[in-house]
Structure 1
Amino acid sequence: MLATLTKPTDPPPGPEGWSFERKYDGVRVIATRERGERPRLWSRNHKPADASYPEVVEALEAAAPERFVLDGEIVAADGRFGSLQARMHLSDPKRARATGVEIECHLFDLLVLDDLDVTRLPLRTRRSLLEAVVRDDGPLLHSPTLDGDPLALRDEACADGWEGLIAKRLDAPYASGRSRDWLKLKCVKDQEFVIGGWTDPAGSRQVLGALLVGYYDGEGALRYAGKVGTGFDDAALKLLRSRLDPLAVDDPSFSDVPRERGQHFVRPELVCQVGFGEWTSDGRLRHPRYQGLRVDKDAADVVREA
């Protein structure tokens, strides 16, 4: 179940009939377990993630029922998405632990309990069941709900440096896909973009200069959104180049990229998260900054958020 981004002109939800939770800057996971088996973690695009976060698997094995499907988000304990980058690409549990990046798994929904599909129950009931059958243990945490005026809650969240809030309708069932029963009230401008290429480095920069990024429009064309040339450290640059080189192609996948010297193009398979100041009138990002690769979203699903 995915949330819909609210526009500034939209009336705020609630507060009656709605609950509010912190919008985390992490990786969404679905946790599953069949009887007699170990728990498994799955990314939003159905890729296994348990090797990257073995301590979450161990905690679920000890603190959760014999059979379940749970929804939640894994975040770095310091709250930075960039910190999570060190773990989210690893497939060796020992290497994941050795990074030293501490994580938390914030659980916020329950889909299956034992042999019961509870997705048709209202959110308030699913949350009560979740808190009753899964205990906080180690990295496992119940995502707290906030009550009060939504605009005041958002102002407080923004003042505290949060990404924003998620508003959820308390009587809503769990429905796969994007829904207005869950709403995003964001404090910052950021979203995922498809990487369509890179530019040569200049000056003291090594490995690559900037990423060429874009998004899909409603007709299936990859639209160019601009260059992202800040937010990298040396490790990020090396990781990006190692992932980009095997995807190199001669011609751009963008439908409208301006051609310049020093450009290199790739198959549009990688997705990254980018923070930015605003959209310009010609559809480009102003002051974009790289925040990290995303392995939990398919490139074909990336569109421009309203």
Structure 2
Amino acid sequence: LKSRNNKNLNIPYPEVAEAISELKPDNFIIDGEIVAFEGDKTSFSRLQGRMQLEDEEEARASGVAVYYYIFDILHLGDYDLTKLPLRARKSILKKAVSYNDPLRFTTHRNEKGEKFYHEACRKGWEGLIAKDAHSTYVHSRSGKWLKFKCVNQQEFVIGGYTEPQGERLGFGALLIGYYDDDQNFRYAGKVGTGFDDETLKKLKGKMENRERKTCPFQNEQEISREETHWVTPALVAEIGFTEWTEDNKLRHPRYLGLRRDKDPEDVHSEQ
């Protein structure tokens, strides 16, 4: 079980790895997403209870149930399926895999996408992915797959943090950014909410191990240096926010958790 940046995920999700290992035939490559639920809605914050674990038994005892929603198949037996259109791959996928929890087939709709999008937003979902039914599989960002979000939420890279004030533990706020089209690391704002005490302490330790003397942001003139620590851009965080401002900063950002499945250099603005 691998993440998109090729990290092994067998330890935090052992039940998913076991279910995949028991599938027949045993020579295939599938693509999907692991989710956890809060009620009937997927919850990234609940998934955090599994993402950062490094002990298999601790993962099994976490009390956080996870499911692997499979949405594509790239290889089956001796056949490369990536050049087939998506609709044909989904048809093969549905028959090739036995779906029992925690493995689930990702259904799709062929029409009335706008109506489904509005329905998703009313239900409190994060959004939808619209895919070209005739598209081949590509291993990078593509205009053939488009995100339509009901809430503003995406990954950002941590480039620094501020000192805590008063009785607050760990740190005050994260300084976050993203890479522009020329791969310049751009500052997007400070995040000071969404942390509990345990997160503040653990995240502070991770950042201290990556501290540096120089500012990593290209637009460093926009940042106050008072009580600021710079960090090598290596940690990717999921951030929720209300909107982008006119000067490309986040309004009311809040921390949701760390991401292990995405390389920092692949984090771009999704506005």
TM-score interval (norm. to shorter): over 0.9
| Correspondence for 1:51 | 11
Q: Distance in 1 between matches of 2:177 and 2:67?
A: 31
Corresponding residue for residue 76 of structure 1: 36
Deviation at 1:135, TM superposition (A): 1.5
Q: Distance in 2 between matches of 1:235 and 1:190?
A: 23
Question: Residues 87-144 of structure 1, C-alpha deviation per residue, up to 9 Å, x if partnerless?
Answer: 2122321121121111010000011111111111111111111111111112000012
User: How far apart, in 2, do the equivalents of 1:93 and 1:292 lie?
Assistant: 20
SS in structure 1 opposite 2:169? coil
Query: C-alpha displacement at 1:180, in angstroms?
Result: 1.7
- Residue 127 of structure 1 corresponds to 90
Q: Is the counterpart of residue 287 in structure 1 residue 252 in structure 2?
A: yes
Is 1:233 the equivalent of 2:196?
A: yes
Question: In the alignment, is residue 256 of structure 1 matched against residue 219 of structure 2?
Answer: yes
Q: Which residue of 2 aligns with 1:116?
A: 79
**2-structure distance, mates of 1:181, 1:223:** 26
Among candidates 212, 226, 231, match of residue 266 of structure 1:
231
In the TM superposition, residue 58 of structure 1 has moved relative to its aligned partner by 1.3
Alpha-carbon distance between aligned partners in 2 of 1:220 and 1:47, rounded to the nearest angstrom: 23
Q: Which residue identity does 1:63 align to in structure 2? A: L
Q: Is contact 1:63-1:136 (8 Å) kept?
A: no
What's the TM-score, normalizing by structure 1? 0.83
CA contact (8 A) 2:169 2:201 kept: no
Matches of 2:24 and 2:158 in 1, distance apart? 38
Match of 1:176 in 2: 139
The runs of 5 or more residues in structure 2 that have no matched partner are none
Are the counterparts in 2 of residues 273 and 292 from structure 1 also a CA contact under 8 Å? yes
Distance 2:166 2:245 in 1: 27
Looking at structure 2, the residues matched to 204 and 156 of structure 1 have their Cα atoms a distance apart, in angstroms, of 44
Deviations 1:35-64 (A, max 9, x none): xxxxxx111111111111110111112334
Deviation at 1:147, TM superposition (A): 4.1
Mapping for residues 77-226 of structure 1, pairs under 5 Å: 77-78=37-38, 79-226=42-189
Q: CA deviation at 1:236?
A: 1.8
- Give me the whole-angstrom Cα distance separating, in 1, the residues matched to 2:182 and 2:32: 32
1:65–1:114 CA contact under 8 A, matched in 2: yes
Higher mean C-alpha displacement, 139-148 vs 99-108: 139-148
Greater Cα offset, 158-167 or 198-207: 198-207
1:278 aligned to which of 237, 243, 256 = 243
Moved over 3 A (4+): none
Question: Structure 1 CA distance, aligned partners of 2:21 and 2:182?
Answer: 44
> Contact conserved, 1:63 with 1:137, CA < 8 A, in 2?
no
Using the alignment, how far apart are the partners of 2:49 and 2:177 within structure 1?
24
Deviations 1:188-227 (A, max 9, x none): 1111111011111123421111100011223332111110
